């Protein structure tokens, strides 16, 4: 029968091994999971090309753990409703989703923007012309964008956006663009 000292040593050893096992499990986190962890100080930069106005923008919208107001204003301007020049506030969560998509695809190319913010008047006009335009579109809240990416097949862009599980993703092959929003997770298009 082990004496008191041996039992204490045995329990300490068992405790040590249990802790090491937990550490080992923690170290077994996949590199993919580690790659998805972002520190609060991580800079986020995006490039856009507005296909309707010809305007381009490269801007860091998040740095030092906070959003950059001037950068967000520049993005809001570039992604304005090109039909009537109304400027809306784009949701920073959507910008982060675009940043994650850019990183997933490993590209520094600008997103070609078909539609960013959409005023209520423009949305009403478009929804009367097409049943593919939602009457309560998230574009009106700055929570949606229609894009393509040079050098990336639209179907591949669609699949990458779906993998992020960040909101709604629609594929429009005839018009050659992908819709991305930060609403509930859903998908459509072929």
Q: Which tokens belong to 165?
A: 């599980």
Q: How far apart are CA 101 and CA 171, in angstroms?
A: 15
**Statement: the pTM of the whole predicted model exceeds 0.85:** no
Per-residue pLDDT of the chain (190 residues; tens, 9 = 90+): 555 544 444 455 554 444 444 434 333 333 444 444 444 568 999 999 999 999 999 999 999 999 999 999 999 999 999 999 999 999 999 999 999 999 999 999 999 999 999 999 998 888 778 767 777 889 989 999 999 999 999 999 999 999 999 999 999 999 999 999 999 999 998 7
Q: How far apart are CA 23 and CA 29, in angstroms?
A: 11
Q: Tell how far CA 170 is from the center of its chain.
A: 14
26 in the same domain as 95: no
Question: Which residue from 190, 186, 124, 184 is spatially nearest to 155, judged by alpha carbons?
Answer: 190
97 in the same domain as 60: yes
Q: How far apart are CA 90 and CA 144, in angstroms?
A: 8
120 in the same domain as 88: yes
102 in the same domain as 65: yes
96 in the same domain as 30: no
3-state SS, residue 78: helix
* Beta bridge mates, 172: 177
29 in the same domain as 103: no
Q: Which domain, by its residues, includes 184? A: 44-188
- In this structure, are strands 44-50 and 168-172 parallel, antiparallel, or unpaired? unpaired
134 in the same domain as 72: yes
* Residue 158 and residue 108 in contact, taking contact as beta carbons nearer than 8 Å: no
Residue 48, φ and ψ in degrees, nearest 5: -130, 150
163 in the same domain as 114: yes
Q: Which tokens belong to 63?
A: 């740095």
CATH number at residue 71: 3.30.1380
Q: In Å, how far are 27, 40, 165 from 24, measured between CA atoms?
A: 5, 26, 29
- What total of structural domains would you count in the chain? 2
48 in the same domain as 31: no
14 in the same domain as 51: no
171 in the same domain as 145: yes
49 in the same domain as 16: no
Q: Which tokens belong to 113?
A: 């923007």
């Amino acid at each position: 029968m082990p004496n008191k000292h041996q039992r204490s040593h045995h329990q300490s050893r068992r405790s040590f091994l249990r802790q090491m096992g937990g550490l080992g499990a923690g170290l077994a986190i996949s590199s993919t999971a580690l790659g998805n962890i972002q520190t609060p100080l991580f800079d986020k930069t995006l490039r856009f090309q507005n296909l309707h106005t010809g305007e381009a923008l490269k801007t860091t919208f998040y740095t030092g753990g906070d959003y950059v107001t001037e950068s967000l204003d520049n993005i809001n301007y570039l992604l304005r409703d090109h039909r009537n020049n109304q400027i809306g506030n784009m949701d920073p969560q959507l910008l982060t989703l675009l940043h994650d998509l850019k990183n997933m695809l490993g590209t520094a190319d600008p997103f070609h923007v078909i539609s960013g913010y959409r005023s209520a008047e423009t949305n009403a006009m478009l929804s009367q012309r097409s049943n593919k335009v939602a009457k309560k579109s998230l574009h009106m809240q700055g929570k949606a964008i229609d894009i393509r990416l040079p050098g990336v097949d639209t179907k591949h862009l669609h699949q990458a956006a779906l993998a992020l599980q960040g909101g709604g993703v629609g594929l429009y092959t005839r018009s050659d663009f992908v819709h991305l929003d930060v609403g509930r997770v859903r998908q459509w298009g072929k």
